Structures are given as structure tokens and as C-alpha cells.
Amino acid sequence: MPELTHDSVLLKEAVDALAIEGDRVNGIFIDGTFGRGGHSRLILERLGGEGRLIAFDKDPEAVSVAGKITDPRFEIVHKSFADLGEVLEEKGIEMIDGILLDLGISSPQVEDAARGFSFRLEGPLDMRMDSTRGLSAAEWLAVETEEKIAEVIHQYGEERFAFQIAKAIVACRTIKPIDSTKQLAEIVAGAVKTFEKGKNPATRTFQAIRIFINRELEELEIGLQAAWQHLRLNGRMSVISFHSLEDRIVKKFLSGKAKVDMPDRRLPIRAIDLPQPEMKLLGKQKPSKAEVSKNARSRSAILRIATRVSYENGGRNED
């Protein structure tokens, strides 16, 4: 089977956002979602001789691809970026100069029927990004309660027919195990009465189960906080999300760090002693029409960029 490829969305824009220039070319950077290495390879092109890039990925196949990179400035860690804090501590690294996250699922994962992510391809109902750990989607659906299945599909898929889908799943599993993607897709199609034109009725359910099985939103919140705790002054965060649930978490986190509670203006406090925001938002970007035309997967992507401007004690940017 030929090696599946992946077109990194907002490739140049996301790496540009890390501002790998000047003294920062020899800094320490993190690619929290290696995938097939598009962002990592471009970061390496811009790093200086003393620079360092640490990449993370839960997917054993992505780690295998990363193992082919022989650049001594690069290393791959077979873990989620949610483990960033623990890994940096093990390596004796206190601060990093920037982190890039390209959230969600990659094209090779979707296009490999054996991974079980796609309702369009017949394959085992797995959906684990790390196929060496945890329950597969089939194993989870075989034992979970109807109420919990409905909750997951509604919460992570924003599916209004979540109750009907869960009920159909539980009814069908009493007859035979639900262990293939096509089987689940057919069950969902029979339970969903109306759906968006041009969109498969199983889209939201597959997204919901995948997010739940892989703890994607929980790991995103943990990873963002860990990255922030280790981000040095003027360090950059460059985060690409693909659906509203991810983007909502990223936006809330970054916006929260960019705001401060100001004291009563009537108090005799000097301007220099006023609390300062920990970060500055540098904006957001969406793919160009040309990129969307070339790569339809990019159409829902949003890149959010931020930089650290002070620490929690209210210290100002030292520039």
C-alpha cells in the first residue's frame, strides 16, 4: 500500500506565526501534532544550527514517518501534546519559544479504511488515533449505556437526533455486534430524519465518537495550559482548529489570557503598577480561496495566533 500523504493546512501562515527569526532561530519549538510532518519540516528549514524542534503525535504511523527525519535538531515523542509539561520536565526544559498545533484528524487517518475513521470506507470500527491504547469505538459502543451514547453524540457532534441514534445503536447491538464503519453509518442513516444537503447523515455521529474516544477536547485544554506555562516572554502560540468545539476552547483560552481584571479607577494606583495581560492576541487567519480550491479539507480551518507579553506577576514585556 502506498504511503498516504497529507497537505498541511495553512502551512506557511502557521509557521510564519511562530516568528522564527533573529535570536529566536536558535530557540526551542514544539510541533504538538506532527501528522505527516509538513509543519515540522518547514520549521526545521527556518531553525538555526542550535535550534531545537520537539514533535508530538499519538499515532504510531505518524511516529514511524517522523523516524525518517535524521536532522539532529529534531526529535519525535510518541505521546499526546497534553503530556507536554511532563515531557519537558523529563528533558530538563523550562521554557519554549513557540508551539504549533494543527488540531483534529489528518488525511492519512481518514483515508486508511483500517483506521475506522471514515463512514465512506468499509473498515473495522476503531477510530483510535493511538491504536495501541484504549478502547476502540466498537468496544465502547458494545458496552456503553444508551444515555451516555446519546450524551456523547449530542455534546461532541451537536447532533439533534442523538437520542434516536443512541436508541438505534443499542437496539442493533442486541442482534449483532456493531464492528464496522459501514454498519454504524447505516444505523445512523436510518435514525436521522433530516440532515444538511450534501452532508452524510453520519458525519456528526462519527465526529462525536472520534472526539470522545480520543479525549480530544480534554487533551486540548490540558495541552494549551501546559504550553502556556512553559512559554517564554515573546513566545508564540499558533493553533489551527477545524470545528467550532475546538475553536471555542482555543478562543476562550487565548482571550482569557489577554484580559485582566482592572482595579477601581478611584484607587491611587500608578499606571506602571496596574495589572497587565499575560498575552497579546495577534489575530486569526483563514485559508485563501486558492488553498480551499486545492484542499477542500481546509475550508473550515481557523488559525489563531498569540504571543506572551508578561508573566502572572504583572511584569511588562522586556523588549
Same domain, 138 and 270: no
161 annotated among ligand-binding-site residues: no
**Interatomic CA distance for residues 318 and 24, integer angstroms:** 15
38 annotated among ligand-binding-site residues: yes
> 213, 244, 269 — which closes off a domain?
213
pLDDT of residue 318: 41
- pLDDT tier at 271 (50, 70, 90 boundaries)? low
Same domain, 18 and 83: yes
pLDDT of residue 313: 44
C-alpha cell of residue 48? 538555526
- pLDDT tier at 265 (50, 70, 90 boundaries)? low
**Interatomic CA distance for residues 194 and 294, integer angstroms:** 30
**Interatomic CA distance for residues 100 and 41, integer angstroms:** 13
pLDDT of residue 261: 60
**Assigned domain for 15 exists:** yes
Looking at residue 78, which CATH number applies to its domain?
3.40.50.150
On the question of pLDDT at 66 being above 60, the answer is yes
Same domain, 192 and 224: no
pLDDT of residue 270: 54
109 annotated among ligand-binding-site residues: yes
**Assigned domain for 260 exists:** yes
Q: CA-based angle 287:290:294, to the nearest 5?
A: 95
Range of the domain at 188: 131-213
**Mean per-residue pLDDT, 75-94:** 97
163 annotated among ligand-binding-site residues: no
Backbone angles phi, psi at 279, to 5 degrees: -145, 165
Q: How many residues does the chain have?
A: 319
On the question of pLDDT at 269 being above 80, the answer is no
**Assigned domain for 112 exists:** no
Same domain, 101 and 223: yes
Looking at residue 146, which CATH number applies to its domain?
1.10.150.170
On the question of pLDDT at 108 being above 90, the answer is no
37 annotated among ligand-binding-site residues: yes
Same domain, 153 and 166: yes
Under 8 Å CB-to-CB from 183, ≥6 apart: which residues? 125
pTM of the prediction? 0.89
pLDDT of residue 186: 96
pLDDT-above-90 percentage for the chain = 79
- pLDDT tier at 137 (50, 70, 90 boundaries)? very high
Same domain, 99 and 146: no
| Number of domains observed in the structure of the chain | 2
57 annotated among ligand-binding-site residues: yes
